[in-house]
Amino acid sequence: MNGPPEGESGHQALVARARELRAARDHPPAEYPVLLDAALAELDHAIEALRLAEEPQGPPRRPGAKAALHPFKAIFDQLPWPVVLTDGQTVVRRLNQAAAELTGLPPGYAAGRPLAALLRPADRAALRAHAAAVAGGEGGRSLPVRLPGLQDGPLYATLTGIDAPEGRGRDVLLLLAPAPGPRTASRTGDRAGGPSSAGRQAELTGLLDRTARALLEREPSAAALGAVAGLLRDGLADWALLDLGPTEAPVRIAVHGPPVPDDEGLEKAFLRQDPRACPVAVEVMTSGEAVVEQLTDDLDRLGADEDGRPLMVRADVTALLSVALTESGGTTARGALTLLRGGAGPPFSLLEAGAAEIAAGHLAVVARRGGAGGPGAR
């Protein structure tokens, strides 16, 4: 998943960020102050863009000396604090070792991808808006941001404009600092509690045993498949969506969300959705390949509700795993299992993705024996 193309116009980028801000209106009122600041920054950005459009353009910026690039890299990499260099759309140009350790992103993987995609959806819109303002010369600023897998509350991102080497114009230098408090934020690669890989392996083995037993103890039916989707939600995710049927006419038979959801109507919105309007489900059923997204930035991956609001935003999705229901050695997909994590949940590990694929294979066998059914299995 890549950020906006380098050649994208300022107007197109502004429209995209405004769309994110509109979608973020569904978030809790406690998050409104940050979103309001972001909206005001976008308004200032639009006003300045209009002003510049009415004035004659000045002489082009003289490219900086290329030799200045090497000292910059050396100093940047040796800074003891987590720092990230991005463009005005938060696309990462480089990050130092401290930032790589904090975010869990290898520098080579992060480069060229939007840093905002790592955050919760409401924070993404705010960071993009403020980064665009800083890159446009409107001054530095600071805002709270939340990374999946970080404990002890949000970080504070301080954004400063910097004249980039090689005549690129103005980049954004972003410093990540822990929120004030007695403890420092720490990152874990697993669910809350941070069990070891061996411990997580044992948990997943137990989960697969429970799902297999649930399928063996019931007659093949949509209800049995829906019950297993619920077990997988309990062990792997915040949300589980199960779609069954041929790719050209799948049916959503089960939706399992948090026991006490923040959005009481979201489960029904997911259940009423036609799976053909869920892009990631269509993708895995068509290709047969699993999709694991740790930087889930595309607001349209899950489609929209009946009012046109992105379901990615309503569910506060920060990590997504979708697998096709395909039997071992087979090529025919009999549906799709989609698992979602939101809020401070960490990305899905490869270990967890493998367990989900095994479970999906078991579901495919039952579906072939007559388990595919109509909607409403819960």
Q: What is the DSSP string of 141-165?
A: EEEEE--TTB-SS-EEEEEEEEE-G
> How far apart (Å, rounded) are the C-alpha atoms in residues 75 and 96?
10
Instruction: Evaluate whether 10-55+62-178 and 197-371 have a shared fold.
Output: yes
Reported pTM: 0.56
pLDDT computed for residue 226 by the predictor: 92
pLDDT computed for residue 193 by the predictor: 38
Comparing CA positions, the residue from 348, 285, 340 lying closest to residue 313 is 340
Domain boundaries, the chain: 10-55+62-178, 197-371
DSSP string, 36-66: HHHHHHHHHHHHHHHHHHHS---PPPPPPPG
Could you write out the three-class secondary structure of 196-245?
CHHHHHHHHHHHHHHHHHHHHCCCCCHHHHHHHHHHHHHHHCCEEEEEEC
pLDDT computed for residue 147 by the predictor: 78
Query: What fold, for 10-55+62-178?
Result: Beta-Lactamase (3.30.450)
> How far apart (Å, rounded) are the C-alpha atoms in residues 239 and 87?
33
Do 245 and 333 meet the contact criterion of CB atoms below 8 Å apart? no
Specify the CATH number of the domain 197-371: 3.30.450.40
Is residue 2 classed as helix, strand or coil in its secondary structure? coil
What is the full per-residue pLDDT of the chain (378 aa) written as tens digits? 444 444 455 666 766 777 776 666 666 666 666 666 676 666 666 656 655 555 555 444 444 444 444 555 666 776 667 888 899 889 998 888 888 888 777 777 778 888 888 887 778 888 999 999 888 888 888 888 887 766 556 778 888 888 766 566 788 888 887 654 433 333 434 433 344 566 777 788 888 888 888 887 778 788 889 999 999 999 999 999 999 988 889 999 999 998 887 788 899 999 999 999 999 999 999 998 899 987 666 889 999 999 999 999 899 888 899 999 988 767 788 999 999 998 767 788 888 888 899 899 989 988 887 645 444 344
> How far apart (Å, rounded) are the C-alpha atoms in residues 44 and 127?
15
Kindly give the interhelix angle for 197-216 and 350-366, rounded to the nearest 10 degrees.
10
